[in-house]
Amino acid sequence: MYSASRKIQKDKGAEPSEFEETVAQALFDLENTNTELKSDLKDLFINTANQIDVSGNRKAIVIHVPYRLRKGFRKIHLKLVRELEKKFSGKEVVMIATRRIVRPPKKGAAVQRPRSRTLTSVHEAMLEDIVYPAEIVGKRIRYRLDGSKIMKVFLDPKERNNTEYKLETFAGVYRKLSGKDVVFEYPITEA
């Protein structure tokens, strides 16, 4: 018979942590109880799940999904995140595809790494995953006199109702995963 352990598959057969098992169990329960998500969740599983302290006493759950399955998760993203946030009350859920960063090739090596495996590309894709379903419509990088830099990311105002209360969570999760400071805003529209 099927069990919750089928919903989490870690690399190299590593054992899932207790928290990852609770997230897998929540996905398994949703598959069995929620009729509209059942058929979509049937073939989907996750790689890892982490709990991150965002700001103050707020926490976020970051779920890493296999890159191959990201389209399937995106199809049901809104419903799935809403249901998971109900199960883990008080915690916001963010889904990110698992991507790998490859070191730059050594001088003289004939091998060339794909653009999608560079640090810059992986961090940009991670940023898009974090803010999904909103789209990024603009980015500005501000360099301060002391050498620090802050990235301003402008999100699509159409998704403002769904994402406005999560902006702090998005910034905290991105800072934790990439080490870069980012500020999310909506562009000011002139009437």
Residue 2 confidence (pLDDT): 58
Q: Which of 90, 191, 80, 184 lies closest to 135, judged by CA?
A: 184
94 - beta bridge partners?
A: 62
Tokens describing residue 10: 């870690």
Contact (Cβ atoms closer than 8 angstroms) between residue 142 and residue 149:
yes
Burial 126-164 (b: 16+ CB within 10 A, else e): bbebbbbebeeeeeeeeeeeeeeeebebbbbeeeeeebe
Q: Which of 118, 97, 119 lies closest to 47, judged by CA?
A: 97
Rounded Cα distance, 10 and 65, in Å:
10
pTM: 0.85
Contacts of 59 (CB under 8 A, 6+ apart): 51, 52, 53, 90, 91, 92
Rounded Cα distance, 156 and 80, in Å:
21
Residue 46 confidence (pLDDT): 83
The angle, 0 to 180 degrees and rounded to 10, between the axes of the packed helices 167-178 and 119-131 is 160
- 151: three-class secondary structure by DSSP: strand
> What string of pLDDT tens digits covers the 191 residues of the chain?
356 677 777 777 778 788 888 888 888 888 888 777 777 777 888 888 888 888 778 888 898 988 888 888 888 888 888 888 888 887 888 889 998 888 888 887 778 888 888 988 999 999 999 988 888 999 999 898 998 888 999 998 888 887 888 888 889 999 999 888 899 988 877 65
Residue 169 burial (10 A CB sphere; 0-12, 13-18, 19+):
buried
Residue 21 confidence (pLDDT): 84
Rounded Cα distance, 121 and 103, in Å:
13
